[in-house]
Each structure stands twice: as C-alpha cells, then as structure tokens.
A and B are shown apart, each in its own frame.
Chain A
Amino acid sequence: MESTNFVWDLMGRNLGGVLIVISLPLFFVLLYALIAILAELKISAWIQERLGPMRTGPWGILQPVAEVIKLLQKEDITPDQSSKLLYNLAPFIIFTGAYAAFAVIPFSEAFVPADINLGLFYVFAIGSISAMGIVMGGWASNNKYSLMGAMRSVSQLISYEIPAAMAILSVVVLASSMNMQEISRAQGGGFWNWYIFGGPGTWTKIWVVPFTFGLTIIYFIASLAETNRVPFDIPEGESELVAGFHTEYSGMKFAMFFFAEYANMFVVAAVLTTIFLGGWNSPFGDFMQGPWWGSFWFILKSFVVVLFQIWIRWTLPRFRVDQLMYVGWKVLLPLSFVCFMAISLFVMLK
C-alpha cells in the first residue's frame, strides 16, 4: 500500500519526522481557531446587522490575536477551596481530547497523521475524554454552578453519543471499513458518490438516500450537542449557570477551554466531512482532484460545516436540560436506529 503520509516519506520515520507530523495539526488548530473566532465574531455581527470588530487591524482581522493576548495577560486564579490538581489539569485534558482526535483526520490523500484501521472508533473514543475534563473542572472548582454544569454535560454527552455512534456505524456498514482514509477513498468520483447520497453505487441506491441524508442531519445535531454549542449549550447555559463548568477559570486556562471548543467544532465537522461529505474528494469527479487539492476541499468542506454551527448558534434559543434528553433519547435515537436498520438491509441485499 502506498504511504498516506507524505511527511514521513519526506523525512523518514525518525524522531524529526514524528515531531513534524505531531506539530502540523497543532499549528493548524491554532491557526484555524484564530480564523474561526474571527468568523464567529463577524458572522454573528452580520446576522445581527452589526459590523463586528473593525478597529484591530484592517477590517478587524487581528481581533482574535488581541483576544488571545488579553487572555495570556490575565491573572490566573485558582479558587481557594478548589481541588488544585484536578482544577489545573482539567483544561489540558479537554484540549488533549480535542487535539488528539486530529491524529486520524485525513486532511488529504497524501496526509493523515496516523493511518490506523480503527480511525473512526478512535475519534469517537478520544472525543469522550473531554467530558472527563469538563467533570473534573466542574467538580474541582468548588462552585455550585460549575458542578451543575458538569452534571449536565455528562448526561448530555451520554445521550448524544449514541445517535452519533449509530450514524457513524451506518457509514461503517456501507464502507465496510473504519479507516477514515479508506472511507474517503470510497467516495471518490463526484458528489453523488458521497455517503450523504448513499455512497458509490448504481441507481438502485436511490431508496437508501433519504436514510443516509437523515443520518447526516442526525450526526450534525448530535455533534452540536457534543461540542456544547447552541441550542445544546446547557452545560455552559450562561443565563442560568453564569458560565457553567468554566465559571471559575480565567486567563490561559480559560483560553484552553476556548481553544478546545473551537478545536472540537472542527473535529466533529471533519468527521462529518469524512464520513458523509466525501472527505478530501472533489465534488466534480476528477476536476481539481489530487493530494493538494484534497486538503483544500477537506478544509473548505469542514469549514462550511463549522459555519453552519456558527449560524445555528446565533439563530436559535437554548433547550432546557430535560428537553435535550427528550430530543436525544426519544427522537434522535429511534430515528438513527431506523436509518441504521434500513442501511443494513440495503447492504445485505446488495
């Protein structure tokens, strides 16, 4: 099998190559987070008929940089009665959870940091670590709001991982692989081969399209819940819980939460892109297809999904905690099971 990581080809599998492979996604995350924060500021402003930041740099493009510098300068407070170790560890665990998921994300035909066969499973497992960080942070802060935010977060994550898992599982059934690179490769040749439209196949696949399309939406909704975004941002729930689990955090530790949220947004968007939107494939067959164009398409598609998340955030109100459970267990879960059954049947009959 040809290598799927051109950096290793270039550097050889020595320590330097490994370090570069590790740090490439980190640079990407930091750069992406700055762009996403600016996008969030600007898009929210346009939705609300404002201008958004205009003064820091031309057209306000330095605003995220200024915000990061501000957070770096702020005093790092550890509450007196908190559990120091857990309190200080929590932001790093959350960021690790978000960042570690980048290890298997196929940015291009020729670049995936680690091409492992259980890629999807790994993304899913490592994503849950951030819940642990939230609980640690919420509990260790010794703040009642944080505690309630942490409790809500766990119940939310458990409820929404199952529909998301069903969506991922359906694609695994269709692609008969958990390797994200293989799944991407299977969807080549144009947008009608993407799994959102039933995956590659003849016209007989037409009756499975509603189910795969539905699963895409189910996964998107579940991913909103996993990243604690509106309308599922009840762990933060600023109107009742002040800031939820990160009420007590300030300075750089808060910035870690902040980065982790944006990194997580990209991770779920990347998974959605990979399993449903064709990964790094061009939507038009061989047009603009190739290793370099691949990374362009991948980042473009993922970013469009992120923009959707931002758009929803500034449009919808927030669910209440019991309604969120209702949507998770009684609406999304049965629907995802139905879709899974239908897709399994389709694969069996094929």
Chain B
Amino acid sequence: MSEKKRLDLEYSQLDSDRMRINVGPQHPSTHGVLRLEVEVDGEIVTEVVPHLGYLHRSFEKHCESMTYQQIIPYIDRMDYISAMNSEWPYVMALEKMLDIKVPEKVEYLRVIVAELNRIANHQIAVATFGLDAGAFTPFLFYFRDREFIIWILEKLSGARLLYNYFRVGGMAADIYNGFREDCLSVIEKVRKTNAEVMDLLIYNRIFIQRTANVGILTPDVAINYACSGPVLRGSGVAYDLRRNEPYSIYDRFDFDIPVGKGEVGVVGDCWNRNMVRMHEMEQSCRIIEQALEQMPMEGDVKANVPRRIKVPKSEVYMRAENPKGEVGFYVVGNGTDKPERLKARGASFVNLSVIPEISKGYMFADLILILGSIDIVLGEVDR
C-alpha cells in the first residue's frame, strides 16, 4: 500500500463526533438564567436549542388574583432593565377600558421617564454586548452614566430599578424641583459617552471584525418570526410603534427611526443591530429635549380615578414600543377589581425565538455575540 493510500485510510477511520454543550443556566454570557443546548462541530455551531423556564414566576396566573393596581409592581419585574416602559402599555390599556383622560402634564412626564429608561436600557444593551466581545471598559463607562439616569428616576419614584411609578390615570408622584436641569445634564452626559464609545468600541477594527457579517437576520425572517424593536430595525425595517401607530403624544415630537444601513457589514448583522441602539439613544435625547420644552410645569399628575377600580366586562390589547421591542398587554375584565385574564407579550421572548435560525454555521464565540445583540432579559422571557 502506498504512503498516501495508508494515510487516507487512517483519516477515514478517525472518529469525529459533534459535541453537545450546555451553555447556561449558569454561564457568564447568557444574560440571566437562559440555557442554550448547543451542538458544535469543533468550533462551528450546528444546532442551538434554547431552554426557558428557569425564571418562570407565573406572572399571568398571579395577576388573576390581584387587583389592577397591585399588578403594576409585578410588571416591573418582567423587564427589570426598562421597568418604566413596561408599565406604560398596561396602564394605557386600563385607561382605555375605563375611558380615562390623563392630564397633559402626565403624558409628557410619561414620555420623558420612558425615554430616559430607554436610554438606560440601550446603555446596558450596548455595554453588555461589548462585554461579550471582550471589551470591558465601555461596559463601565455606560454603567457610570446609567447611574445618573437612575438617580433622576429614583428622585421621581423612590426606587432605582423597579419603579412602580405609573398609576391608572396618572403618576405616583409629581416632578421635583430641578427635574428639567437634571434631565438636560444627563442628556449631555449620554451624548458625550456615546461619542467616546463610538471611538473606543463601535468603530474599533477588532470589534467590527467580530460583529459585522455575523448572525445575519434578513428582513423577511425577522418579520416571519415577529421580531420587533432594534432587532427588526437592525434588519432595515423601519417599523416603530411610536411612529407607525402613535400612542400617547408621540405624534407631537420630531424624531427619526434609525434602521440598520449596512454601513459596516450587511444589513441585519450584529453590528447593525447594535448600531440601531446607539442611534436610538440620540433620538431619545431629542424626544426628551422637546418634551421638556413643551411640558406644562404646573398642574396635577393624577386624573380623577376612584380608589377601587372596577373594570367592566370588556377586553383590550394595548401595545407600546419598548426598548427591546413591542410589549403588549391583553386585559380581560369581568366587572370586578381583578382581571379575568391578563396576557403579556414579551419582546425578549419573541426575539429570542429567532436565535436557532440565525446562529447556525457561525462559530461558538459568535453565538454569544448574536445572543448579546438580540438583547434579551430573562425576566421578560420567562415571566
């Protein structure tokens, strides 16, 4: 047997097997207690199966035994990174059912706190995405800045993370003296750090190599999987509920819908998804500036609402554009002060379902980046 033939034989006898790895639920980069069952061929990912339920708290069933106001703090615990945004569609749904008109000042205050929270959420999203790529410093820059936003929200609501600030027909507390100045100084800081992070991380050659052309989500796949938020807009679909179906007073503001343009890489890859968040922070700053200018500083922040809310037999679905995507609440009333059924649509849950589709064929290290670019929070996935 010639030398070459013998080698061929040896190689064909070599057993090469695919390896199954459990990523999570205790893993530094799964952003919570997510478990991914990953099958790898060497370093190449061949299959991903997300396993959920490690943070399931029976949110929806719980709501059926609580009064409408008691549900609000539970909603905070769904998407705990952007609690202000999540409370809003629920409160709006009840106001629609009860036909309550909230004061003008409340609408502006809601826009401001929601946009502040959107900035805080995107800061964490970009920061942890950078951390997944191995860049530690931008992570701490953003956490330093997020603190200032949290201070404002803390002064308003008394809590740092789970605010419980929205009420049916108003807000829990009025604004404080110097609220306007605080907001303006935070916007300045956000813009300054964003410019810094653009240099340090976003346009870094290594970061571009890592994230561009990775985890490409084409627009039709994104729409088929019902993705929303920056995940959808990163694929180039300019769909934003604040613009396409304006709720509250979003039709009064002038802002752009950033979409992935494929400036680096292709539309729908991790870099573009992440870039949408960077641009959205700037747009949120613009909305806050306009809202602060138009906001009436005098007046009450509570509409005339009875202490005990009894919702008539009716059902309503209210949705809003959250930092992570579209969050909706389907509330069924039965004439008492407790809902008959409450169904929440979590943006993270829907966006997470696209992971197996877009991470096949990439490397194991890319899978972590794809997961980071989707920006999930497990409280909302499992509820």
- Name the contact of B364 in the complex, choosing from A47, A50, A240 (C-beta under 8 A): A240
Complex CA distance for A50 and B140, rounded to whole angstroms: 9
Which of B144, B201, B366 makes the CB contact (< 8 A) with A317? B201
Chain A, Cβ-Cβ closest to B130: A317
Q: Shortest Cβ distance from B136 into chain A, in angstroms?
A: 6
| Interface size, chain A (Cβ < 8 Å) | 27
Q: Give A306-350 as 1s and 0s: 1 = Cβ < 8 Å from B's Cβ atoms.
A: 000000001111111111000000000000000000000000000
0 or 1 for each of B122-156: is its CB under 8 Å from A? (1 = yes):
00000000111111110011001000000000000
CA of A252 to CA of B296, assembled, Å? 63
Most A-side CB within 10 Å, residue of B130, B133, B134, B135:
B134
B141 touches A49 (CB 8 A): yes
Verify B134–A145 contact, CB threshold 8 A: no
State the CA gap A319–B134 with chains docked (Å). Answer: 8
Q: Which residues of B contact A315 (CB under 8 A)?
A: 135, 137, 200
Interface string of A165-207 (1 = CB under 8 A from B): 0000000000000000000000000000000000000000000
What is the chain A residue whose CB lies nearest that of B366?
Answer: A320
Cα distance A148–B365 in the bound complex, in angstroms:
11
Stretch at the interface among A214-222, A231-239, A256-264, A281-289: A231-239
**Could you say which of B132, B365, B366 has the most chain A C-beta atoms within 10 Å of its C-beta?**
B365
B19, B136, B141, B365: which contacts A237 (Cβ < 8 A)? B365
Stretch at the interface among B110-118, B206-214, B311-319, B352-360: B206-214
Which of B21-29, B322-330, B331-339 contacts the other chain?
B21-29
Interface residues of B in 295-311 (CB under 8 A from A): none
Q: Residue-by-residue, is B343-376 near A (CB-CB < 8 Å gives 1, otherwise 0)?
A: 0000000000000000000011111100000000
**CB interface residues, A 229-271, toward B, < 8 Å:** 230-231, 233-234, 237-240, 242
* Contact (A317, B135) CB under 8 Å given A237-B365, A240-B365: yes
How far is A47 from B135 in the complex, measured between Cα atoms in Å?
A: 12
In the assembled complex, the CB of B210 is this many whole angstroms from the nearest CB of chain A, namely: 6
* Dominant secondary structure of chain A at its interface with chain B: loop
Given A49-B144, A144-B19, residue A321 in contact with residue B204 (CB < 8 A)? no
Chain A 47-79 interface residues, beta-carbon cutoff 8 Å to B: 47-50
A320 engages B141 (CB within 8 Å): no
Contacts of A47 in B (CB 8 A): 137
Q: How far is the CB of B115 from chain A (nearest CB, A)?
A: 25
Q: How far is the CA of A239 from the CA of B204 in the complex (A)?
A: 19
- Do A233 and B134 form a contact, CB below 8 Å, given A49-B141, A320-B210? yes
In the complex, the 9 A-B pairs of residues with the closest C-beta atoms, listed nearest first: A318-B134, A317-B135, A48-B140, A317-B133, A239-B29, A317-B134, A240-B368, A239-B132, A240-B365
A residues in contact (CB < 8 Å) with B: 44, 47-50, 144-145, 148, 230-231, 233-234, 237-240, 242, 314-323
Report 6 cross-chain contacts, Cβ distance below 8 Å, ordered by A residue: A148-B43, A239-B28, A314-B137, A315-B137, A317-B130, A322-B43
Known A47-B137, A240-B367; further 10 A-B contacts with Cβ < 8 A = A48-B137, A50-B140, A234-B365, A239-B365, A242-B27, A314-B136, A315-B135, A317-B133, A322-B43, A322-B363
